[in-house]
Amino acid sequence: MALLRCRPLALALALALAMPASIPAQAANEYEVKAAFLFNFTRFVDWPQSSASGLFCIGIAGADPFGSALEEAVKGRSAGGHAIAVKHFKPGEESAACEIVFISGADARKMRAALGRLQHAAVLTVGEGPGFCHSGGVIAFEIEDNKVRLEINPEAAQRARLQISSKLLSLATLVRDTGE
Amino acid sequence: MLQVTHRLALLTALATAAAWGQSSLADASLEQLLNTQVTSVSKKEEKLARAAASVFVISQDDIRHSGATNIPDLLRMVPGVEVAQINSNAWAVTIRGFNQRYSNKVLVLVDGRSVYAPGFSGVYWDQIDTPLEDIERIEVIRGPGASVWGANAMNGVINIITKSSKATKGGLASATASTQGDASGMVRYGGDIGADGSYRAFAKTSTYASSQLPDGSPGHDGWSSLHSGFRSDWDLTPADTLTVQGDLFSNSESELRNRWFINEPSDPAFAQSLDAAGGNLLARWTHTFANGSDTSVQAYYDQFQRNDAEQPDRERTLDIDFHHHFAVGSRQDIVWGLGYRSETTYLPVGYEITATPPRRVDPLYSAFFQDEIQIGSNVWLTLGSKIEKNAYTGFEYEPNARIAWAPDARQTLWASASKAIRQPSRLETGVGLELGSAPIGPGLAESVQLIPNPNFLSEQVRDYEVGYRRQWNKRVSLDADVFLSFYRDLATFEPQAPVIVPGLVTVFEIPVMYGNKGRANDYGGELSLNYSVNSRWRISPGYSLVHINYWLEPSSGDTLTVSLAGNTPRNMVQMRSVINLTKRLEWDQTVYWSQAFANGTIPSHARVDSRLAWKASESVELSLTGQNLLRPEFLEFGDFEEVVGTEAPRSLIGKIVWRF
């Protein structure tokens, strides 16, 4: 009896040890998915004029939570016929020369300051957390049940003269400024 | 229909991701991305990843996989923490050396309540019996944590943090039984109170069988414990939370003791029972202001009594703490706080000790300030200090400076410099203790008397550390640090001029007084690795080194502490393996290896534990854990003062957990 009991276990162990080392994890890293969204937005948003520098720029303001995920996501890809460049900005130095600026959600005060500076520029501001769109940001990522959800503030998009496709709008929760 | 599409999309996303690797996520459609499961790092973890201190977190997952049945056994997995069982109800637990039953250089907190007893400077681990299922995590900080937590956080801090009652709704019952004869049962139930509150309450009973001495004779260290407690959490408003929690416990224990600290072989050891009972009540209120700053006020009352014939101990603590956290500009994050504590220690006369005065009420006033300054985009400088006024040595300050550089989100290099103290206790300043007595001739006896030193100073350490943390990819991460610590004013036993006390028997008395003439320079380091071999198998190796160079000032006559300082192995190795055999079957291994104690009293040894768990259904889990599998029994620490050390036995523990 003891022997019989042991067998499935021994078998299971043998299987566990023989398993290939590279079974992909079932869940993706949050920021790899967010990086993929940033690239995807280039296909669903129209900017008022095409880039002057001939490059499509995705900027990251302040702390960079992506690691190398964003560079990997845009490597060898283009947006509207332009090669994509990833730039990093120190807080307070966000540039309106970028088409997309990602503002990390770590510090609410910094986030609002950056949004204030980019308010009237033709920039797709992307951030995280519930306060971002309410504070005038265009698109915010939210995590719900371990999945990424989108929030869009259409008024903010209008101010930035951005055309967001109805498809993207239909997949997001629409929110308004709270006037803060 | 929508459901189906989503599921299909998810499958496609996963399949695509699996086929093309990570970068293919960029090719996924918006719908696929919206349906991809993500793993995220919480703010807390993010902050931990760039903490400029040596931190190890034991998660609830680690707790479950360890198969441990008590908190000291759980701490074995932390590199740098030394856990040695003295007998079945007493442990010696320390961080980075100086191990003894009352390890006085490590502060232990349960949900912000200090369980470091100021009477004898140490932790009664038999009184900390938080149900392991209720623990959210245990944070172990190696190295001084004094700038925030204050005195006695000299070599480290162990923070036991329980789950919010919001996370423990419903019922849970668990039962364990071991081949040694240990058994325990626990019932917990939790639920909502109105729309904004939740609660849980538990009751737990345990009995532990007596273990053996190395010669096979009974160790007389069996014990039993009754423990109940509750926790309640409220969202008073969106900006205010309130937590109220408390415990009651009662232990009935026994132990084998020698008559004297300096024992003659002719004095046989004897069994003695002791009872310990106590309780605590804690309330914490936090408020978040509109500008993002937050503040908390916490108060607790804790009392216990140990009816130990040799050294009875009754303590009461009332503690009030206030914290305020706010940002100045965009680059500074400030936390400051104020605290007041009243410690009542009543040490009645035991057959060996006499405290003068027996009862003392000592106030402790404290304040701390900490400023985290961001320099550039990826450097954080933290400056802070605690200032305390205690009843023994007056004002003490415990400053630190820490710097962290995170060149990217996956790696951090940090360095710290800090000063910390260990506050004098009743033991050194007010307790007389007869260490040994023996006849040395007709009508003549010798007696060694430990006498208190009211001028005993705080022990001090200056500590310097450098560490590196790195997450290479989803599968491999590393956390390493090295430290250099300079101790001074460490406690010593200084012999005084002998006194002849005439009487029926003339006693030749050798007084020994507490002194501060110990010095030490330590160096060492800790290393933790995490490697996910594949999605089902994770291994976590760990290693620690502590080299203690202890010496006495030339004027010291001490002969005891040199050996006590050697109760620590220089090298320790940990290896944990977690395998999810199937969705329902887990198989976990832990191997701990410890070099011989530096003083040679305990030889090098390895401990192997193994756990097999089967999730029979969504609500029932069965597990079988083998502890100490390599040897039938093993002496881990030996005697501590008068308490005779018994052997940690090999045992098989069966456990059933039922959620309802």
Which residues from chain B sit within 8 angstroms of residue A9, using beta carbons?
581, 587, 612
Which residues from chain A sit within 8 angstroms of residue B34, using beta carbons?
147-150, 171
Rounded to a whole number, what is the distance in Å from the CA of B147 to chain A's nearest CA? 25
CA-wise closest residue to B24 among A172, B6, B33, A23 = B33
d(CA B559, CA B265): 20
Beta-carbon separation of B535 and A44 below 8 A: no
The DSSP code sequence of B527-542 is EEEEEEEETTEEEEEE
- At B361 the pLDDT is 95
- Which pair of structure tokens corresponds to residue B136? 């959210």
Nearest Cβ partner of B533 from A21, A72, A149?
A: A21
- Interface with A, mutate which of B37, B374, B531, B622 (most A CBs under 10 A): B37
* CB count in 10 Å sphere of residue B429: 19
CA distances, B560 to each of A176, B137, B259, B493 (Å): 73, 38, 18, 7
DSSP at B27: G
Spans of all domains in chain A: 28-174
Q: What share of chain A is helix, strand, coil (3-state, %, to 5)?
A: 35, 25, 40
Is residue A54 left, alpha or beta, with left meaning phi > 0 and alpha meaning psi from -120 to 50?
Answer: left
- Which pair of structure tokens corresponds to residue B383? 């400056």
Beta-carbon separation of B33 and A40 below 8 A: yes
Beta-carbon separation of A19 and B537 below 8 A: yes
3 state SS of B84 = strand
pLDDT along chain B (660 residues), means of 10: 41 39 66 74 66 90 92 96 94 94 93 92 94 93 91 94 90 95 96 92 96 90 96 89 96 90 77 94 91 90 92 94 89 92 92 86 95 90 95 94 89 95 92 84 87 95 96 88 97 92 88 95 96 90 96 92 89 95 92 92 93 93 94 85 88 95
Q: Which long-range contacts (CB under 8 A, 24 or more apart) does B6-10 make?
A: B6/B31, B6/B35, B9/B35, B10/B35, B10/B36, B10/B37
Beta-carbon separation of A19 and B536 below 8 A: yes
Residues with Cβ within 8 Å of residue B258, at least 6 apart in sequence: B267, B269, B639, B642, B644
- At B17 the pLDDT is 39
- Interface A:B, Cβ pairs < 8 A: 137
Which residues from chain B sit within 8 angstroms of residue A106, using beta carbons?
43, 46
Which residues from chain B sit within 8 angstroms of residue A110, using beta carbons?
330
Provide the residue type at B496 as one letter.
Q
- At B44 the pLDDT is 58
Rounded to a whole number, what is the distance in Å from the CA of A94 to chain B's nearest CA? 13
Rounded to a whole number, what is the distance in Å from the CA of A56 to chain B's nearest CA? 16
Instruction: Please give the CATH topology (third level) of the domain spanning B39-655.
Output: Maltoporin; Chain A (2.40.170)
Closest chain A residue to B532 measured between Cα atoms?
A21
Which residues from chain A sit within 8 angstroms of residue B47, using beta carbons?
none
- Interface with B, mutate which of A11, A40, A56, A86 (most B CBs under 10 A): A40
Beta-carbon separation of A143 and B40 below 8 A: yes
Q: What are the φ/ψ torsions at residue B305 (nearest 5 degrees)?
A: -140, 135
Beta-carbon separation of A24 and B292 below 8 A: no
- At A179 the pLDDT is 52
User: What is the pLDDT tens value at each position of chain A, 180 positions in all?
Assistant: 333 333 433 333 333 333 333 333 345 778 888 999 999 999 899 988 765 667 889 998 877 888 788 888 888 888 888 889 898 887 677 777 889 999 876 677 778 888 888 888 889 999 987 778 888 899 999 887 678 889 999 999 999 999 999 989 988 988 888 754
Q: Are B642 and B82 in contact, with CB atoms under 8 Å apart?
A: no
CA distances, B387 to each of B368, B400, B463 (Å): 6, 12, 18
Burial class (CB in 10 A: 0-12, 13-18, 19+), A145: exposed
Beta-carbon separation of A40 and B536 below 8 A: no
d(CA B404, CA B51): 7
- Interface with A, mutate which of B33, B475, B476, B588 (most A CBs under 10 A): B33
Q: Are B610 and B626 in contact, with CB atoms under 8 Å apart?
A: yes
- At A22 the pLDDT is 30
Which residues from chain A sit within 8 angstroms of residue B35, using beta carbons?
147
Q: What's A136-166 look like in SS3?
A: CCCEEEEEECCEEEEEECHHHHHHCCCEECH
Nearest Cβ partner of A73 from B26, B410, B533?
A: B26
Beta-carbon separation of A16 and B377 below 8 A: no
d(CA B27, CA A72): 12
Nearest Cβ partner of A33 from B14, B33, B330?
A: B33
Spans of all domains in chain B: 1-38, 39-655
Q: Are B655 and B625 in contact, with CB atoms under 8 Å apart?
A: yes
Closest chain A residue to B18 measured between Cα atoms?
A24
Beta-carbon separation of B292 and A168 below 8 A: no
Nearest Cβ partner of B330 from A21, A107, A150?
A: A107
3 state SS of A68 = coil
Rounded to a whole number, what is the distance in Å from the CA of A161 to chain B's nearest CA? 22
Closest chain B residue to A110 measured between Cα atoms?
B330
- Interface with A, mutate which of B30, B31, B47 (most A CBs under 10 A): B30
d(CA B156, CA B93): 11
d(CA B33, CA A41): 12
Closest chain A residue to B536 measured between Cα atoms?
A16
Nearest Cβ partner of B474 from A29, A113, A168?
A: A29
Nearest Cβ partner of A36 from B25, B327, B536?
A: B25
3 state SS of B111 = coil
Nearest Cβ partner of A147 from B21, B37, B410?
A: B37
Strand duo B113-114 + B411-422: pairing: unpaired
- Residue at token pair 């008559």: B259
Q: Are B286 and B296 in contact, with CB atoms under 8 Å apart?
A: yes
Rounded to a whole number, what is the distance in Å from the CA of B592 to chain A's nearest CA? 22
Nearest Cβ partner of B34 from A22, A63, A171?
A: A171
* CB count in 10 Å sphere of residue A165: 14
* CB count in 10 Å sphere of residue B469: 23
CATH class of A28-174: alpha beta
Rounded to a whole number, what is the distance in Å from the CA of A52 to chain B's nearest CA? 25
What is the torsion angle, in degrees rounded to the nearest 10, for the CA atoms of residue B13, residue B18, residue B22 and residue B23? -70
- Which pair of structure tokens corresponds to residue B522? 């330590």
Closest chain B residue to A21 measured between Cα atoms?
B534
- Which pair of structure tokens corresponds to residue A19? 């398993």
d(CA B553, CA B107): 27
| pTM of the predicted model as reported, rounded to 2 decimal places | 0.78
- At B233 the pLDDT is 94
**Where in B571-650 does DSSP place strands (E)?**
571-580, 585-594, 605-615, 620-627, 633-635, 647-649
Beta-carbon separation of B535 and A32 below 8 A: no
Beta-carbon separation of B533 and A146 below 8 A: no
